[in-house]
Amino acid sequence: MGCLVSTPQDSVGNRRRPGSIGEVSVYVPGFRIPKPVDFSLPLGDQLPKNLMESLSALRTRVVVMAGQEAPTVSRTRRKSATQHGGSTLADLHQALQDYLPVLLGLVKDGSQLQHNVQFAWMNQEDEAEETAISNAWYEVLSVLHLMAMLSLSQANLLLLPRTSCDGYQPKVSEENRRASVDIFLKAAGYLDCAVRHVLPQFPTSLREDLPVDLAEGVLRALCLQALGQGVDIQLGMAIDSAKATLAVKRRLACEMVKYWQQAQDNIMNLPLANGWGEKHRLFIKWKYVEAKAAAYYYHGLILDEGNTEKSHGMAVAALQAADEYFKESKRSCEAFNAASPLSRNPPLWGTIKYLSEKIPKDTSSKVRINRDLYSHEKIMETAPTLPDFSLALKPDEFQLPPVFPSWNEDNVGGGQASSNHLKGE
């Protein structure tokens, strides 16, 4: 059902762990790196030469590019070209897309070839240095995970503020913000496909032995993280729009809370390790608390529009909660940046820039006014419950591509081809 080999972490270790990953708008918990594979020994007498060479060449291309890109993925302002001709995030993503249809031939129609090759990948969030499994579905799962991480890395680069031509403070263009939402949905689509269509291909015993990087909880958390950050961008654009009402902004903020809460629930009890994993947990905690600050702020503003003492009291309680969550989010942010590998915040922009200015000011003003109007007893001392909205943002509908046509030839995988002949007789 698939031989498993996990290499424990040694004192030296080959895992790439940068001391610092620079500015972070979108956290990416490292790149899992594929190790070289020789297909000729396990598959040599079962595949035609041209298919073997294609499979080998496409995977080697991925191995080389991933090895180049991983050490530099966190450099937020780097040269795109390399000695091998421009191994950028987009190039590596394309290499994975080219490889996937050929790889899927190993699992076509339940072929036994799926167990012939041992695939090895270096982990980032697991205690084990690397995990090797003789199951081609493990390779498919690893490819989808890497495609998602590349997308999140691309979104991070788009969402780092750049100094504008007019000389004003750094900002993120509307074009980049809109593009990043599309990328978040694409990343979520890869991860959703991995959870719904690839993980079920593993027997239960093997699923339990997967590295934590590929655990269902981590995959779901990453998917929800992508959706949560997509809503964050939408909220920022709503804040900038004169047409967006308070109700629209509150709804987006409340949806954002649900995405991050679900992400935290999925990742909370997993044995994340080795810096990347713990930092991942801290990032989700930070963004969850930050989302609650936004939601309570807009909920408070809407409650304050009411005409009763009760609504004004609830508004004060909501705004006070927003202020407390905002202060907690700053502490959570500091804890995230201080965790290894070190990181730092880009210049404030978007939702958090607006809220960092408005929450302390509006909370202080409205609390003072309402306390002057009503007695202490009239003001609720606990935050009102946030309204519950259904989640609107969904992952892109990504489907595994059709198997590369050469796999349909009769001379591929002798045993499988023979059984097909028998069915046709």
Tell me if 256 sits within 8 A of 294, measured CB to CB: yes
* pLDDT, averaged in runs of 10, over the chain (425 residues): 54 57 91 92 86 94 88 46 52 96 93 93 87 96 97 94 74 94 98 97 92 94 98 96 96 98 93 82 96 96 87 88 93 95 88 91 76 51 88 96 84 44 31
376 within domain boundaries: yes
Give pTM, 2 decimals.
0.88
CATH number for 140: 1.25.40.280
Whether a cis peptide bond, with omega within 30° of 0, leads into 395 is no
417 within domain boundaries: no
420 within domain boundaries: no
349 within domain boundaries: yes
**Dist. CA 137–CA 4, nearest whole Å:** 13
* pLDDT for residue 312: 82
- The torsion angle over the Cα atoms of residues 139, 143, 145 and 151, rounded to 10 degrees, is 180
CB atoms within 10 A of CB 141: 26
329 within domain boundaries: yes
* pLDDT for residue 413: 59
Token pair, residue 144, equals 């989808």
* pLDDT for residue 88: 83
Long-range contacts, 220-223 (Cβ 8 Å, 24+)? 220/191, 220/195, 220/262, 220/263, 220/266, 221/263, 221/264, 221/266, 221/267, 221/280, 221/284, 222/29, 222/148, 222/152, 222/187, 222/191, 222/263, 223/187, 223/188, 223/191, 223/192, 223/195, 223/395
* pLDDT for residue 156: 94
* pLDDT for residue 423: 32
DSSP states of 19-66: SEEEE-SS------EEPP---HHHHTTTS-HHHHHHHHHHHHHHHHHH
In terms of residue numbers, what domain contains 35?
22-73+87-160+171-398
Tell me if 259 sits within 8 A of 228, measured CB to CB: yes
321 within domain boundaries: yes
How many domains is the chain built from?
Answer: 1
Tell me if 7 sits within 8 A of 128, measured CB to CB: yes
247 within domain boundaries: yes
407 within domain boundaries: no
